[in-house]
Each structure stands twice: as C-alpha cells, then as structure tokens.
Amino acid sequence: MKRYIYINDDDLAQDLYCDNRISNRKYTIWNFLPKNLWEQFSRFMNQYFLLIACLQLWSLITPVNPASTWGPLIFIFAVSATKEAWDDYNRYLSDKKANEKEVWVVRKGVKKLIQSQDIHVGNIVWLRENDEVPCDLVLLGTADPLGLCFVETAAIDGETDLKTRVIPSACMGIDLELLHKIKGVIECPIPNKDIRRFDANMRLFPPFLDNDVCPLTIKNTLLQSCYLRNTEWACGVSVYTGNETKLGMSRGIAEPKLTAVDAMIDKLTGAIFVFQIVVVIVLGIAGNVWKNTEAKKQWYVEYPNEGPWYELLVIPLRFELLCSIMIPISIKVSLDLVKSLYAKFIDWDDQMVDLETGTRSNATNTAISEDLGQVEYILTDKTGTLTENKMIFKRCCIRGTFYGNENRDALSDVELLDAISTGSTDVIQFLKVMAICNTVVPIQSKTGAISYKALSQDEEALVRAAASLHMVFVNKNGNVLEINFNGLLLRYEVLDILEFTSDRKRMSVVVKCCLSGKIFLLSKGADEAILPHARTGQQTRTFSEAVEQYAQLGLRTLCLAWRELDYDEYQEWSLMFKEANSILVDREWRVAEVCQRLEQNFEILGVAAIEDRLQDGVPETISTLRKAGINFWMLTGDKQSTAIQIALSCNFISPEPKGQLLLINGKTEDEVCRSLERVLLTMRITNTEPKDVAFVVDGWALEISLKHYRKAFTELAILSRTAICCRVTPSQKAQLVELLKSCDYRTLAIGDGGNDVRMIQQADIGVGISGREGLQAARAADYSIGKFRFLTRLILVHGRYSYNRTAFLSQYSFYKSLLICFIQIFFSFISGVSGTSLFNSVSLMAYNVFYTSIPVLASVLDKDLSEKTVMQHPQILFYCQAGRLLNPSTFAGWFGRSLFHAIIVFVITIHSYAFEKSEMEEVSMVALSGCIWLQAFVVALETNSFTILQHLAVWGNLVAFYVINLIVSAIPSTGMYTIMFRLCRQPLYWTTIILITMAGMGPVLALKYFRYTYRSSKINILQQAERLGGPILSLGNIEPQLRSLEKDLSPLSISQPKNRNPVYEPLLSDSPSATRRSIGPGTPFDYFQSQTRLSSSYLRNSKDN
C-alpha cells in the first residue's frame, strides 16, 4: 500500500487525505454521555448496581426509597464522568492550541500564514528556528547551504540530543525563490507508526527535472512535534497530517492493568453475589410459603386471594433488593480514592528524589500500587538501570601497548601523552578515528567552549577523550569536519556514513582528507564485528586479549580500525551504496550487505575501553529485595561477558562456591535442546541445596528455547530464582515477561531505554528509570524513579503498605455491608418474611456513604510496621506476596465476624427494646447505633498506628453520627422526627449500646489477643519487637548471625564436583589467581578483589564460539 503525494498541488490532494487537525479526544460533546455511560456500564459491578437501582423503582418490591441507591450511584457515575470530561476537555484545549497555531504555508505559490489545522498533504510548510513541526514533512530546503538542519526529537523518542536531518539529493541546490514553485510526486508508504523508518521515493517535475528517482529515508524527514534547532529556516512538504502522522499513529491508550488484589476482590465479590442469590432464593421460598400459610390468616394484611402472575417473584425480588447492599457500592469509590492517595504518597516521597537531577518518583498509573507489594519477579535491564550509563573512557590498547592501569586512566597515562607528543603514527591514527568516526555534532558556544551532542554515549565518551588528548573535534561544517591537533587544523570531508545497526555491530565513515585527497574508511565496533575482518597478516591476538582483559574489569570495549581506499574502489562501491539506499523493500538488509563489502581488510588500530559504572546502592538493593523473596532476571542486549561481570559485581549472582552459573548455548536446535536439558537436570538436583543457581542464556538460544522447548524453558524459569539473558531483543524481553506472567507470577519490569518499553508495558508493573537514555521508558512505565535503588522503597514501603491497607479496606467494606445485611435478614424472620427493611432509606444510604466509609479511609495512614523494621526484615514482604492478608480464608474471618456482630446487635436490640418499647423507628435506630459503635471499635482494633487523623476519623465519625441524626431528628417531616432526642435521653439506650459494643468486641479482642500472643505471625512478632523497644536492639545482631550461619553451610557445597561434564558446567571457580586457564569446554572463572569493590570477573575461553 502506497500513497502518492503531489507536491504543492493545491487542487489535487485536498480531499484525498485528512487535514492536519489533531484530535486526542475520546469524546465529542454529542457522544460524551452515551459513550461514557456505555464504558462505565461495561463493568460488572456497575451493571449490578444499575439493575438494583432499576428494580428499586418498582414500588411494590422496593424496601427502601430508590434514592438510597440512585443517589450514590449517580454520585459515583458523576464523579467518574466528570473526571473523564475534565481530562478530555484538557486534551481538547491542548489540541486546539496545537491546531490553531499559525504556520507559514505556500498556497497558490504565495507564502501565507494559516492555522496549523488547515495544512493538507502536499503543502509546503516553512519553519523557523525553534518552531515546532506541525506535521510529518519531507525536507525540501534549509538555510544551510549543504541542506542540513538539526532537530530535537524529545517528544517522539525522549532523546534529548540533536539529530541531523538532510534534504534529499534531488533538492540540493534549488534556489530559495524557486522552492515556492517546486512540483513533484512523492511515493511513500501508508501512514504507520514506525518512527525509525521512512522508505520513500521522490521525483520532481519540470523545471526541476531530475530523471533520477531520489530515495528518501527518515533522515530526510521532520516528524510532527519535533523542534527545529540551530537552523535558521527549513521548509518541507507535508506527507502525513493530523492523526495520521507517525506520532499520531503511535499514540494509543494503554490497556488498564488489573492488580492481583483487584482480581481477588472481584472473586470475593462473585462469591458474595452467589451467597446473596442463595439467601434470596431461600428467603424467597420461605416468604412465599409464609405468605400462603400464615399471612392469609393475618386479616389485617388483606392479602388478595388471587394475585397477579408475577406474585411468586415479588418476595424474592424484595429480598434481592434488601440484600443488594451486601456488595457495597462504596467499595469502588473508596478504593479509587485510596489508590490515588497511595500514588500521591509515592510522588511526595522525599526519600525517593534523585538529588543529582532533582527528579522525583512519579506514579503514572495510580491503580496498581498494591501489586508492588506482591511482586515475585523483577526483570531488569542492565545498561542505565543497574549501571549509570555514564560512559568514561578508561583504558586503551594501541598496537599491543596497554595504556591506563588501576591507578590511572589512560587519559592521564604519561606513556600515552608521551606517545602523542612524539607523534607516534599509530596513536595519532587511533585518536583520529576516535574523533572522526562518529555522528557527534560539536556545538561551539559564544565563549568558545565546545560541547558535543551525540546519539550514543560511547561516541561522546570517545570524542571527549580524544579532545583531552589534544585531538579536538572543533567544528562540523556541513560534510567537512575540522579537527584541531596540537594547533594544527585538519579537515576531512565525510563522504559516506555507514550507520550502526545492532546486527552489524559496527559503524564506519568514509572520509576524504582535504589536504591529501586520500580516501579513508574509519571503523569502530564490537570485537567480533571488527577483528575477524582484519587484513590478512595482521595479528589480532593482542587485541582479543585486550578485549578480554577489559571485559574482566567490566569495561565496554570498542575496536578501532581503518583502511585506505582506492579512488576507483570507492567510486564503484559508492554507486552500489546509493542504489541500495534507494531500494524500498529490505533496504536495511541490502545496505548492510553493501557495507560489508567495504568493511574488510581492516588495519586494526587498537581497543578502547569505556567504563559504565554501577549505580549507587545497586548491590544492596538487589540483596535486600532478594531477601524479600523476589527473584531477579537480568535481560540485557549486552554481551554475555559484560552481563555476567556486572551481575557478579552487583550481587546478582554469587561467586563460586555459593553460586553456580549454568549456561544454555548452542547454535542449532539440538545443541540448545541438549544444553537446556542439562541445565534443567542440574537445576532439579541442586534445587534443594542452599545455593544460588542461575542460568545464562543468550538471545539466539532463547529464541530457539521459546520456540521449540517452551515447556522445558518454563520449568526452568520456575525453578530458577536468577537468570541472565544476554543479547536479547526488545521483543524477547517482552516474551520473557509474558512467559513468567503465564506461570501466574507477578512481574515487575524495570528499564530505562526505548528497548525496554515493550517489556515495561507487558509486565504487571512497569518501572522506568528517568535516566540518560531519554524518557521513553519512564513515559511508558507505571512508575518512574530516578535511581535503581529507590526500587527497595517503592516495593517494601509503598507496595507493602498499599497492599496491607487495601486488604483491610476491601474486607472491611464487605464486613460492614454484610453486617447491616444480616440484620435485615434476621429482621425478616420476625416480620413475616415479607421483606420489610428495618432501617429507613436515609440511614441505609448514610451508613454506606458516610458513617462507615470515612473511618476506614483513614486507614491509608495505617502502618503495621515502621519503615525501618521493614527494611531490616525484608522477608516480611512474603505476607504480601503470598496474599496472606486478603484471601478467601481471611475473608471468611471477616464474614464470620459480621455474622457474629449482626447476631449480637439484633438479639440485644430486640430483647432490650421489647414490648412497649418495640417502636419501629426506635428499634431501627438502636440497631443502627449498635452497628456504628461496633464498626468504630473494629476499625480501632484493626488499626496498628493511630495518628491524629485516624483518631479524628474514627471517633469524630461516631460523634458525627449523633450530630447528623440529631439534626435529622429535628426536622418534623422526616420519619425520624424526635427519635434521636428521645433515645439519647433514655438510660436504656446507652446501656444497650454499651452492652452491644462490649458483647461484640470482647470475643473479637480475646481472639485477636490470643492469636497475637500465642499464634503470632511474623508481622506480630516484629510489631512487638519494634514497640516494646527492648528486643529491637538485638535485631541488629541478626545479620552477622545469619552470615556466620551461611559460612557454616558453605563448606558443604564445596564438595560439589568441579568439572563433571556435561551435566556440570561450573562457570565460576574460586581460584584466587587472575591467570587464565583453559580446561576443556567447562570454562573456569576467576575473581579477584579490586581495591574499591569486589570486582569478580571471569575469563572466557578465547574463540569458544
């Protein structure tokens, strides 16, 4: 599918494609009400409430005023609808602002200022510096004589550095005046959301006749919402407009995530619903039987002898309505409210502020905080997540000479500086490649200082390092680079850039020396992408050794190489390259193939090593969360050696003998299968031992495993608490998340880059680190944090508290509605099973909405354990993970409690208000007061920590109950007129209430005390320890004890066989020396202590692949 765009043709493409009106709105004024209501009613709970509310309109069966349901229902709907409407209105405003922005567009050959929304496909749009691009454009001209311009694409991919865009070759050199009149056709794909690709062709019409079809790439486009920078003006033809732009297409509303707690609440709601139906059926039958036997004798009821056909249904439906409050209408509102407060607490948390950048943590998704407390697997990215992604050039190896050691960086290595000043050609060539072979843009400020804008952190580090070694990349003037070497200005013209792709793993530039006219190919890339292509005769052993040595230190390595090209060779290749670049299908693959032809016979110059430091507190974070029972998987696109090295240094895996690494590898299906089975076998054997066993898998083997051996791999995933997956693609990351989710594990994915977005969206909880790779991940994530170490607090503090609080709140909501419901049911037995409501409508509504909702809302401040205790004993998270606080059995406890309390309230009320006092309104109010008192004490008993707000909510609510009822009792027209005044004057009322409270709470307190003291849970023990003060001091001693215990255990596992191939593949050995050994296929690893941190590393057999 293609679209053809006629440039600057006012008549043609006008109506063919949509205009540039952006609309992010979900609703219009007309469809808002129906659409919003439809959405709200697609939820079961709402359908249920609506059904109940409708049934209540039938006055024959309604026990209470329909307002008691309609009121809250309309309120809830109004709140959600208002929120939606407000959000939509804000979107409308921002759309409007964007749509009405004025831009210069060529209309009928004249530049005119029109509103952005009136741009059509094919129009020529003019932009000035710092303008926002209104739609997707293909560049036609810029102020730059060479047709370059710079854009900031932060709005699209979150990358803050500037990107170069260039006009298509066909437009090169067109006069400024003629740009208005340019005509032509562009053939481009139908709108899609791929922001990295734009495979199109352009052909200009006379007088700009250019027989060539000119290829267009993403480099020739300006995408919507980018900003034009450092360029005076630019103009382009619009190709995609409005919601069909690349940005518009990639906009999407993420699917709402449902937490485990929500799922459990839904399940319990379902159970209660079933219970309700049973009650309704039983009472309905009983009611009909009573009606036909007893009620016919009760002449004063005047039952007609013959009723309508639906008569049998009337009583069951009445009971259905009477019991409808079993499913509390308030639970949804309360939960939404507290959940947004949990999210706010995360936003507000001062201990989760990244002090370096001042970034706060942010909860984008406010609905899933409880899930944080139930995380079982954390899948983490490596670069930028565990590490800082701040590259520093540390060491290098040039022609066999190693520069830089433990004490000094290469930058300050005297030897290297000497070599530079003496003019060693190799070293200078090395520096040149560092400075030239990149896509960095130097920006010279007015003071003369140069800053670099780079796509990749590695390139920036190299250019900086070169600059400090006197090879300063000064200026990029179009295609000409200027380099200042010791005061000498060197100029190079860039002829071609062979871009980096993750498949090629290298990038090259072809430059022409302006002085000598010679053409060079300069390359840099991963060792496996460069070293095999060395010119015949060159020894690459030293380089591969250097690579290994640097990898041991956890450094990232890049091999640098160059080659001089013949003029003819280049010419020939250049044609092929151009051709490959204008292909529409499979362009990437074709280009790679052409590049490969040039990138060989390298003269290897050396190896540069770049350090990517671990973030602060990563090892501690990982070990704390480990203790909390969370399993870690590392998914990285990096190579195996670096991944394992980083894993070791951040406690991810333990060195031998405590830990064991199992490797899954292989090139073919069979090899992978065998290896997988071997690992699985080992895993099963060692599963009982107190050992950290981890498996390592690379992208290829993973691909095969997931495709063909999914079952075995799933079993492995369940067995293994730790895994390292290297060389994985973004989609594989997402697949792994999917795999763990399919095993019913709660997963949390954390990452910082664009390649983590899919994994983050896939996981139950996505956490983005607002780091240096841009904000893409943070935007897609549910939570964004500044540093990896905040994860501890996010999970242990916020997640845990949220879970505990929601568990209490939801069960309590059911408890209180069941309580009132049971009383209604009991009452029906003494009212002829006729479905009379004991409570009046006002009380019922207020009971659910005020009296019982407000105290429990204060539970969002409840803390069962102090943050410090939780941090010291992360194991306590187990209670949340296993869902110990909200499950059918805890719920049964609450169910029983409400049944018990209902019996207490009912029995005491009808016995103390018997005979001459059995007046309906009074009895109803006594029972209601009893419920209110009981629920206040229940909340008080279940609260672990009382702040002033909780006291206010619980006891203030009790006072408010009396105030409200006294006020209502003062209004003559209500049924309750004078009732409350009358009751408050009776000693009998107060004695009854006290009796209800004590009789209801006594057994609950006794039971709780007994369990608390003699069947105490770990939480209780820690609470006691924390609050009694005494033993808490000894808690600090646990850690060393634990360690010593572990030490005692460790000799046991030493006896495991070292090299029992093929089942055993101990990748880590405890050999203290740093020398390399190669004993068969089982590769030994070494670790040694560096002066700063335990820097365990491993050696890999050379050429083992």
Partner 1 sequence: MNSNTPSTSAGAPGSADSTAPRRNSKRPKYSRFTQQELPACKPILTPKWVISAFLLVSVVFIPIGVVSLFASRDVVEIIDRYETDCIPLDSRNDKVGFIQSRRDKACNRTLTVPKHMKQPIYVYYQLDNFYQNHRRYVKSRSDQQLRNPSNEDDTSSCKPEDTTANGMPIVPCGLIAWSLFNDTYNFTRNNQPVTLNKRDISWKSDRDHKFGKKVYPKNFQNNTLIGGDRLDSSKSLSEQENLIVWMRTAALPTFRKLYGKIEVDLQAGDVINVGLQNNYNTYSFNGKKKLVLSTTSWLGGKNDFLGIAYLVVGGLCFFLAMVFTIIYLVKPRQLGDPSYLSWNRNPGGR
State the nearest-atom distance from the C-beta of 692 to partner 1, in Å. Answer: 9
Please state, in angstroms and rounded to a whole number, the distance separating the CA atoms of residues 785 and 878. 24
Give the footprint of partner 1 on residues 374-393 (CB under 8 A).
390, 392
Among 67, 172, 285, 450, binds partner 1 (CB under 8 A): 450
- The reply on whether position 1018 binds partner 1 by CB under 8 A is yes
d(CA 721, CA 441): 44
Calpha distance 718→551 (Å, rounded): 31
**Angle at 249 (CA atoms; ends 246, 254), nearest 5 degrees:** 130
802-831 positions binding partner 1, by CB under 8 A: 827, 830-831
Contact 435, 491 (CB under 8 A): no
Residue in 14, 31, 451, 600 binding partner 1, rule: CB under 8 A: 451
Binding part of the chain for partner 1, among 122-130, 295-303, 614-622, 1074-1082 by CB under 8 A, reads 295-303
Please check if 382 is assigned to a binding site: yes
Asked whether position 1012 contacts partner 1 by CB under 8 A, the answer is yes
CB of 969 to partner 1, least distance (A): 10
Question: Please, what is the angle between helix 330-348 and helix 67-99, to 10°?
Answer: 40
3-state secondary structure 859-872: HHHCCCCCHHHHHH
1103 labeled binding residue? no
1035 binds partner 1 (CB under 8 A): yes
Closest CA relative to residue 838, chosen from 545, 830, 846: 830
CA distances from 243 to 8, 483, 1015 (A): 21, 44, 62
Residue closest to 897 by CA, chosen among 925, 938, 859, 957: 938
Q: For tokens 């932009």, what's the residue?
A: 127
Question: Which residues, numbered 546-605, are part of the site for partner 1 (CB under 8 A)?
Answer: none
Ligand-binding site membership of 756 (annotated): yes
Among 536, 1014, 1072, 1103, binds partner 1 (CB under 8 A): 1014
Q: Check the annotation: does 997 bind a ligand.
A: no
Distance CA 598, CA 580 (A): 14
Nearest alpha carbon to residue 1094 among 457, 658, 633: 658
- Per the CB < 8 A criterion, the answer to whether 136 and 239 are in contact is yes
Q: What are phi and psi for residue 217, nearest 5 degrees?
A: -130, -175
Among residues 223 and 999, whose Cβ is nearest to partner 1? Answer: 999
The residue within the footprint of partner 1, chosen from 651, 924, 929, 935 (CB under 8 A), is 924
Mapped onto helix, strand or coil, the DSSP state of residue 885 is coil
Please list every residue from 471 through 500 that binds partner 1, using CB under 8 A: 472, 474, 484, 486-487
Nearer residue to partner 1 within complex by CB, 108 or 1015? 1015
CB 964, min distance to partner 1, A? 19
Cα–Cα distance measured from residue 462 to residue 906, given in angstroms and rounded to the nearest whole number? 81
**Residue 524 assigned to a binding site:** yes
Scanning 167-175, 424-432, 518-526, 1015-1023 for contacts with partner 1 by CB under 8 A, the matching segment is: 1015-1023
Sequence letter at residue 31: N
* C-beta closer to partner 1: residue 602 or 989: 989
Residue 1061 binds to partner 1 (criterion: CB under 8 A): no
Contact 386/615 with Cβ under 8 angstroms?
A: yes
Residue 792 marked as a ligand binder: no
Contact present, 850 and 960 (Cβ < 8 Å): yes
Residue 126 vs 430, nearer CB to partner 1: 430
233-240 vs 136-142, strand pairing mode: antiparallel
Choosing from 493, 614, 1021, 1090, the residue that interacts with partner 1 (CB under 8 A) is 1021
Burial status of residue 965 (CB atoms within 10 A of its CB: 0-12, 13-18, 19 or more): buried
Q: Which is nearer to partner 1, 708 or 721 (CB)?
A: 721
Residue 347: Cβ-neighbour burial (10 angstroms; 0-12, 13-18, 19+): middle
User: Which residue stretch of 147-155, 225-233, 761-769, 1045-1053 sits at the interface with partner 1 (rule: CB under 8 A)?
Assistant: 1045-1053
Sequence letter at residue 632:
F
Judged by beta carbon, residue 1041 or residue 1089, the one nearer partner 1 is: 1041
Q: Note whether 59 and 156 are within 8 A (CB).
A: no
Residues 175-234 that bind partner 1 (CB under 8 A): none
Catalytic residue at 864?
A: no
| 637 known member of a binding site | yes
Per-residue contact flags (x/-) with partner 1 for residues 306 to 335, judged by CB under 8 A: ------------x-----------------
In our burial notation (b when 16+ CB lie closer than 10 A, e otherwise), range 1010-1035 reads eebeeeeeebbebbebbeeeeebeee
Q: Which of 131, 381, 612, 864 is catalytic?
A: 381
| Tokens standing for residue 844 | 């019922």
Largest Cα span, the chain? 121
Would you count residue 297 as binding partner 1 (CB under 8 A)?
yes
427 counts as binding partner 1 under rule CB under 8 A = no
Residues 2-31 that bind partner 1 (CB under 8 A): none
Q: Is the peptide bond before 207 cis (omega within 30 degrees of 0)?
A: yes
Cis status of the peptide bond prior to 1031, with omega within 30 of 0: no
For residue 752, say whether it is annotated as part of any ligand binding site. Answer: yes
Token pair in block for residue 22: 């952006």
> Is residue 93 a contact residue for partner 1 (CB under 8 A)?
no
Residue 556, marked binder:
yes
Choose which of 127, 237, 463, 825 interacts with partner 1 (CB under 8 A). 463
Nearer to partner 1, 144 or 864 (CB): 864
921 among annotated binding-site residues: no
Residue selected from 107, 360, 505, 708 as contacting partner 1 according to rule CB under 8 A:
360
Among 685, 1042, 1063, 1094, indicate the residue that binds partner 1 (CB under 8 A).
1042
Looking at residue 1072, its amino acid is: P
Q: Does 514 bind partner 1 (CB under 8 A)?
A: no
Report whether 636 belongs to an annotated binding site. yes
Tell which positions 862-901 bind partner 1, by CB under 8 A: 863, 873, 875, 878
820 contact partners, CB below 8 Å, separation of at least 6: 325, 839, 844, 847, 931
Q: Which of residues 937-956 bind partner 1 (CB under 8 A)?
A: 944-950
DSSP 836: -
Contacting partner 1 (CB under 8 A), which of 1038, 1052, 1054, 1079? 1038
The one-character DSSP state at 118 is G
Nearest approach in angstroms of CB 296 to partner 1 is: 9
Binders of partner 1 among 627-686, rule CB under 8 A?
A: 629
Site string for partner 1, 687-726 (x = CB under 8 A): ---x------------------------------------
Applying CB under 8 A, which of residues 255, 503, 916, 1104 lies at the interface with partner 1? Answer: 916
Nearest to 660 by CA among 273, 27, 1084: 1084
Q: Are residues 791 and 621 in contact, defined by beta-carbon separation less than 8 angstroms?
A: yes
Annotated ligand binding at 503? The verdict is no
Q: Which residues pair with 948 in a beta bridge?
A: none
Is 727 labeled as ligand-binding?
yes
- N- to C-terminal Cα distance for the chain? 43
Give every CB contact of residue 517 below 8 A, 6+ residues apart in sequence. Answer: none
- Does position 292 interact with partner 1 (CB under 8 A)? The reply is no
Q: Which of residues 338-357 bind partner 1 (CB under 8 A)?
A: 344-345, 348-351, 353, 355-357
Size of the site for partner 1 (CB under 8 A): 123
- Please, what is the minimum distance in Å from the beta carbon of residue 1015 to partner 1? 11
- What residues have CB less than 8 Å from 868, skipping those under 6 apart? none
Near partner 1 by CB under 8 A: residue from 108, 446, 911, 1103? 911
Binding residues for Mg(2+): 381, 383, 752, 756
Q: Which residues are annotated as a binding site for ATP?
A: 381-383, 459, 500, 524, 556, 636-638, 727, 733, 755-756
Which are the catalytic amino acids? 381
